[in-house]
Each structure stands twice: as C-alpha cells, then as structure tokens.
C-alpha cells in the first residue's frame, strides 16, 4: 500500500472528487481558506474551482471537481469530472482525494471503486462521521481500510477535525496504490487492446466509451467496435451491479447498525416542510419573505449608493472645469458606475438567501414540492427560485439557474426569467399608473397599487406561457428526469456562504458591470452630442433668457438636436402605431441601459426641473399635447400601450450580457431580445388600437 521512499518537494496537484452533498465544498473551503479562484472551464458554463495550501514546505494545488454519482456522466457538470479524471496525466493529477459521506457509505463507495480502478493514487477523506453517530451507526475504520486496501482519513470538514492528519496523508498519497475492483469483460478487453495508451484497462475502457458516446468514433470503425461490444446502457448497469455486489458485503462487515429504526431529525422536519398543506404554506411564506427583503431591504442601501454617487458628482462638477473630460466623468462614467453599484444590494441579498437555502438543504425540498407544477410548463422544480428572484432583478436570477442540470430546462428558465417584472420596471409603472389614475388618488383602495400588482401577475403568467412555447419548440437530446437526493438538513455554514457571496459579487462587478458601464457611456455620448451647427444655434437662441430657465430649455432642445434625438425621430414611424411620438422614442432608446432611465429621460425631455419629484413629472406629462393635432399625448391608450411595452420588451442590456455569459452563445440573447420585444410590440399595438 505505502512505499516510503523519499518524498520530493515539487508542488503537488490533487483533485477533490465525490458525490454531491458530501461536504466536498466545505472541505475545499477549509483546506484552501481564501486562496481560491473560480473560473469557467473553457467553452462551458461549468465552474472550475482551484485553490492551494502550503503544508510542511510543500505547495499543494487543489482542483474541486463538480460532484458526481458515477464516472458515467448524466449531466454537463458530471461529464466535466469524468473528462478531467480520464485526462489525468495531461492534467498532471498527483492524487485524488475522494470525499465520502460516512452516513451513506454504500452509495458513495460505488464512485470510489470506479475512481480506484483508474489507477491514480487515491485517498478517502471520510466525512460526516458525526451524522453517523446521531443515527447510532458505527463504522470499523481499520477493517474498512483493510477491505478496500485504501488510505482512509476520517475528517469533519465543518469543524476542521482531522484536517491536519488529512494534509499529512495527502503528502504521502502520491505513493498509495489501491486494489482493483472491476476488470473489463473479455469483449471489452478486445476493444481496449485497440488503444495504445499506458493507462489501466478501466481507464482505457472509459476513454473508448466516451469517444463512442460523444460520437467521436464514426462510420466503419464504429461498426467494427459495435461488433465486439454492443454499446448500450446495459454494460453500465452490469458493471454497477457487479460493483455493488463487492461493496455491499464489505459495508455489512464493517458497520454496526442499531436495528431499532427511529425517525431522524431530518425526517421529522420533512414531515412538516413536505406536508401537502403546511409545506406549501411555508414555501409561500418563504417566497414572500424573499420578495420582501429583496424589495424593501435593498431599497435602503440602494438609496445610500445613489446618494453617494450624486454627492460625488456634485462635488466633482463644482470643482472641475467644464470640459469634455469632466462631462464624460460626471455624466457618462459616474452614472454608469452607479448603474452597476445600485444592483449590488439586491444581488447580495438574493444570493445570501439563496446560499442560506442551498446550504441548509431546503432548496431541494422547494424543487421537490413544485416540480410537478413547473414540469407542465417545460420548467423544473429548480426553476422556481430564479423566477421568484427575478421579481427583484433578472441578473442574479439568471446566474442562479446554474444548478439546473437539465440543459433544456435551464435554457428555458434563462429565456423566460426577464419576463417577470423586475424592480427596474417599478418606477416606470408608478409613473404611468399615476397618469392613469390622476384624479382617484383618494380612493379607499389605491388603484395604482392594484395596477402594479396586476402587472406582476401578468408578468408571471406570460413567463409560464412562453416557457410552454419553448418547451414545444426546442429540441431535447437529454431526457428530463428528476432523480434528486434530498440531503439531511444542516445548519448553514457562514464561511461557505461568505465565500460564495464574495465570488458572486466579484463575478458581477467585473463581468456584467463592465458591459453596463460601456453602454452607459455610449448612451451619454449619444444624448449629449450632436451635429455642432445645431448645438451652436440652440446656444444662440437662448442668450436672452434668465439663467435657470435657459439651462432647462437648452438641455431639452439639445436633447432633441442630439444623436439620440435624431434616433428618436428616425424610429418615430415604427413606434407611431403604438401611439408614441419621437420624444417617447428617445426615452425608449435610453431605457436600454436600464428601464428606470425612462423616468429621468422624460424629465429631461419635458424640462421638468427636479427628476426626483414624481408628482411634478406626472403633472407635466398629463399636460403634454401633440403639436400637430392638439390632442393629449398621454391618453389612456398610450399609457396602457407603454405599460405593456415596458412589461415585456427586452430593454435591459445587462440581462442580455448575463444571458450571453451563461449560455456562451450570442444566439440566445438575440432570441431573447427578438421574442420579448416582438411580443411587447404586438401587445402594445393591440392595446393602443383597442383603446384609441
């Protein structure tokens, strides 16, 4: 087993492998602390987590691979683990640390025996022995080590017990050799003989199997292969059964079970949380609380951030000479940065709650009780949380779809998530609702509030309808299944949550943030620059007005003369059927940075002095008339049409950037843009024509 030759002092590369829910991530966090980095594996959305620690003068690099139940992959992330392990010499793996859940030993050992047969030095980090104790079960570790002929290091990843011994063992694992559990059949060996690599038989078998499964062997060669071993799931089933026939007796031999079966704590909690009535009630209460905290709680720090940025802007404006650079800084870059930062409170709160639910084990229960309903619409139990979250903001929600294994289900969730009314639509809804019910503000029920609630409901219904449509249209290679382990409840671990939060925030600020900033600067340029002649003429025109009045008038006429203004006039013919004029057109264009920009833009267009004063904007808007016909600009038909447009059009460049990042294809943000905006246009057109 162990060959105690001289240990060299070169850096080691170890990988963490194990079933999901075995505490693998906790162990990774405990081993590496802050020394970790998450990056997407090339060409995939799967995260690769890398970290390192130094121990006894040796530098140890660690890769944390996605949790899997078997080397025969079922989902994209499991495939990554298998590929990574099969290319162990390319990836320079010195040793594998196999993280096993002691309270679930038999199922965990299936993957262990597969890993062991790959021939890479492997050590078992046996976690959750405390859970085992609670279940009144004992494992004879010495016996287990002898039976498996493996190095076993008992650990408690949560409190750090046994980590030092594990590190000691890791430095020696390079020399560990383990027993063989399964040898390929005679037929399989014939195939393997065609491979000339210096791997174990089992590794070579997996390499061939993978090539075959992902159609890398074609034509005659494929037929030749199939003549020797007919490839089907049966081969895997037979192998799995054989492995369990070895594992089962070993586990029986080394465990001491208390036969008296009593309900575990998890089962007691589940009796309530999965109850047909109470379960749903608790779920809806949880949703309500999530919604409330994203909505209300985030408003406070959001206000601070806005205040901070306007404070800095005012100071800079007062102290810098007015030139293109200071304008770029104060009107382009700073508002752009603010646009990135104001999303942070919502992102932090949403991800904090999601991490809390995930870490405690409740998330899988939510998927469990909602799966039936969501399945009907081409979604999945795991789509619920992103959909709810996007009532605050679609950006963190799209990022949160990563735990949906089924590709199609995940894609549909990403595509329909932005249809839910997010918090950026709220200022627009509020303004428009104020225009609709201008005289009814004193009614007992606030009609504006009712209208806004209605908009949220419509958003949800339309999201489900489009999910259903996509379910019919999109092709599915992968079968949708729901074989889901419901892990034991655990107290959330703050260290895990804080590390997750930190990584998500960094991810958002540096990736999505970059794009938001760039677009904001472009919009600033378009709205503040235009043909020089026109601008000069405006300055001339107002030389005789009082200072304050002039500033406002000039601002509004400049906007008209700017590139954005000409764009608004250019698109006027296209938006006329919806009841909009070129001024609304400008607002539509600037709303592309973020929907709430609508309010600020109309304030600028109609020269309303204070954009923060909503009633002033409402009053001004309700007085606007069409220059040619003398009719009111904001009739009921126009307002309703605008409501529909803002509810469904894809006007959020940040969301599209995130969709691109998560799907790794420019195709999906384009489709998202086209179907949402097309639908919004159609609906606004119908509404306007009906109420005109």
Return residues touching another protein (CB under 8 A).
69-70, 72, 74, 103-104, 106-107, 110, 135, 137, 233-234, 236-237, 240-241, 244, 248, 266-267, 270-271, 274-276, 279-280, 364, 367-369, 371-372, 479, 481-488
CA-nearest of 132, 138, 172, 131 to 153 is 172
Output the smallest distance, CB 217 to another protein, in A. 21
Q: Which is nearer to another protein, 231 or 352 (CB)?
A: 231
295: which 2 tokens?
């909505």
Output the smallest distance, CB 103 to another protein, in A. 6
Q: Is 72 left (phi over 0), alpha (psi -120 to 50) or beta?
A: beta
Output the smallest distance, CB 360 to another protein, in A. 15
CA-nearest of 38, 68, 21 to 359 is 21
Output the smallest distance, CB 237 to another protein, in A. 5
Gap between the Cα atoms of 298 and 346, Å rounded: 5
Gap between the Cα atoms of 326 and 156, Å rounded: 56
Q: Which is nearer to another protein, 21 or 618 (CB)?
A: 21
Output the smallest distance, CB 107 to another protein, in A. 4
551: which 2 tokens?
């500033």
CA-nearest of 100, 112, 97, 96 to 182 is 112
Residue entry with tokens 């590139």: 563
Q: Which is nearer to another protein, 271 or 289 (CB)?
A: 271
Output the smallest distance, CB 17 to another protein, in A. 15
Output the smallest distance, CB 209 to another protein, in A. 12
Q: Which is nearer to another protein, 117 or 270 (CB)?
A: 270
Q: Which is nearer to another protein, 234 or 533 (CB)?
A: 234
Residue entry with tokens 């991490």: 355
Q: Which is nearer to another protein, 243 or 448 (CB)?
A: 243
Q: Which is nearer to another protein, 446 or 485 (CB)?
A: 485
Element (H, E) at 74: none
Q: Which is nearer to another protein, 77 or 94 (CB)?
A: 77
Output the smallest distance, CB 491 to another protein, in A. 18
Q: Which is nearer to another protein, 236 or 671 (CB)?
A: 236
The three-class DSSP label of residue 323 is: coil
The three-class DSSP label of residue 139 is: strand
Q: Which is nearer to another protein, 274 or 521 (CB)?
A: 274
304: which 2 tokens?
């601070």
In this structure, are residues 202 and 120 in contact, taking their beta carbons and an 8 Å threshold?
A: no
Output the smallest distance, CB 367 to another protein, in A. 8
Output the smallest distance, CB 278 to another protein, in A. 11
Residue entry with tokens 């004193």: 442
CA-nearest of 426, 347, 463 to 598 is 426
Output the smallest distance, CB 288 to another protein, in A. 18
The count of other CB atoms within 10 Å of the CB of residue 253 is: 12
Per-position b or e across 359-382, b if 16+ CB within 10 A of its CB: bebbbbbbbbbbbeebbebbbbbb
Q: Which is nearer to another protein, 235 or 567 (CB)?
A: 235
195: which 2 tokens?
């491979």
Gap between the Cα atoms of 19 and 69, Å rounded: 5
- Give one DSSP letter per residue of 324-356, joined into a string: HHHHIIIIIIHHHHHHHHTTHHHHHHHHHHHHH
Residue partners of 472: CB distance under 8 A and separation at least 6: 378
């Amino acid at each position: 087993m162990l060959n105690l030759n001289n240990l060299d002092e070169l850096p080691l590369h170890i990988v963490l492998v194990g079933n999901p829910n075995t505490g693998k991530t906790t162990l990774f966090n405990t081993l590496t602390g802050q020394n970790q980095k998450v990056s997407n594996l090339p060409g995939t959305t799967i995260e690769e987590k890398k970290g390192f620690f130094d121990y006894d003068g040796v530098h140890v690099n660690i890769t944390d691979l996605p949790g899997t139940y078997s080397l025969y992959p079922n989902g994209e992330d499991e495939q990554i683990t298998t590929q990574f392990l099969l290319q162990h010499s390319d990836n320079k793996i010195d040793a594998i640390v196999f993280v096993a859940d002691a309270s679930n030993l038999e199922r965990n050992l299936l993957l262990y025996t597969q890993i062991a047969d790959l021939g890479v030095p492997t050590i078992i980090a046996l976690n959750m022995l405390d859970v085992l104790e609670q279940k009144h079960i004992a494992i004879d570790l010495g016996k287990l080590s002898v039976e498996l002929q493996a190095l076993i290091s008992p650990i408690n990843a949560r409190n750090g017990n046994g980590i030092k011994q594990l590190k000691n063992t890791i430095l020696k694992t390079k020399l560990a050799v383990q027993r063989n559990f399964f040898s390929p059949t005679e037929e399989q060996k014939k195939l393997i003989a065609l491979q000339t690599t210096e791997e174990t038989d089992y590794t070579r078998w997996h390499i061939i199997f993978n090539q075959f499964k992902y159609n890398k062997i074609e034509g005659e060669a494929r037929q030749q292969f199939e003549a020797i071993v007919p490839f089907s799931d049966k081969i895997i089933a037979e192998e799995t059964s054989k492995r369990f026939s070895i594992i089962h007796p070993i586990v029986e031999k080394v465990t001491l079970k208390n036969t008296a079966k009593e309900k575990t704590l998890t089962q007691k909690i589940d009796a309530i949380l999965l109850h047909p009535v109470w379960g749903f009630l608790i779920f809806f209460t949880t949703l309500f609380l999530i919604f409330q905290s994203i909505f209300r709680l985030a408003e406070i720090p959001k206000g601070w951030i806005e205040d901070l940025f306007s404070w800095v802007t005012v100071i800079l404006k007062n102290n810098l000479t007015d030139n293109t650079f200071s304008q770029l800084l104060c009107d382009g870059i700073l508002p752009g940065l603010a646009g990135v930062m104001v999303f942070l409170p919502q992102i932090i709160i949403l991800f904090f709650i999601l991490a809390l639910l995930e870490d405690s084990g409740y998330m899988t229960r939510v998927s469990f009780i909602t799966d039936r309903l969501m399945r009907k619409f081409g979604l999945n139990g795991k789509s619920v949380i992103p959909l709810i979250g996007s009532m605050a903001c679609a950006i963190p929600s799209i990022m949160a779809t990563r735990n949906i294994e089924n590709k199609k289900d995940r894609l549909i969730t990403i595509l329909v998530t932005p249809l839910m009314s997010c918090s950026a639509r709220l200022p627009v809804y509020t303004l428009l609702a104020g225009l609709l019910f201008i005289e009814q503000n004193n009614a007992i029920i606030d009609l504006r509030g009712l209208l806004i609630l209605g908009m949220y409901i419509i958003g949800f219904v339309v999201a489900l309808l489009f999910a259903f449509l996509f379910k019919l249209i999109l092709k599915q290679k992968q079968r949708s299944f729901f074989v889901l382990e419901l892990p034991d409840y655990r107290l959330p671990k703050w260290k895990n949550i804080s590390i997750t939060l930190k990584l998500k925030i960094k991810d958002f600020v540096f990736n999505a943030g970059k794009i938001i900033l760039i677009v904001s600067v472009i919009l600033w340029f378009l709205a503040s620059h235009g043909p020089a002649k026109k601008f000069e003429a405006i300055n001339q025109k107002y030389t005789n007005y009082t200072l304050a009045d002039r500033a406002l008038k000039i601002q509004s006429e400049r906007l008209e003369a700017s590139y954005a203004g000409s764009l608004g006039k250019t698109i006027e013919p296209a938006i006329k059927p919806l009841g909009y004029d070129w001024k609304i057109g400008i607002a539509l264009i600037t709303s592309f940075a973020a929907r709430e920009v609508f309010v600020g833009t109309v304030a600028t267009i109609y020269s309303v002095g204070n954009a923060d004063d909503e009633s002033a904007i409402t009053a001004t808007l309700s007085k606007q008339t069409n220059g040619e016909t003398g009719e009111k600009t904001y009739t009921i038909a126009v307002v309703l049409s605008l409501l529909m447009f803002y509810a469904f059009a894809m006007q959020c460049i940040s969301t599209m950037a995130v969709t691109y990042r998560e799907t790794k294809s420019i195709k999906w943000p384009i489709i998202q843009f086209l179907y949402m905006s097309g639908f919004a246009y159609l609906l606004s057109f119908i509404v306007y024509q009906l109420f005109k």
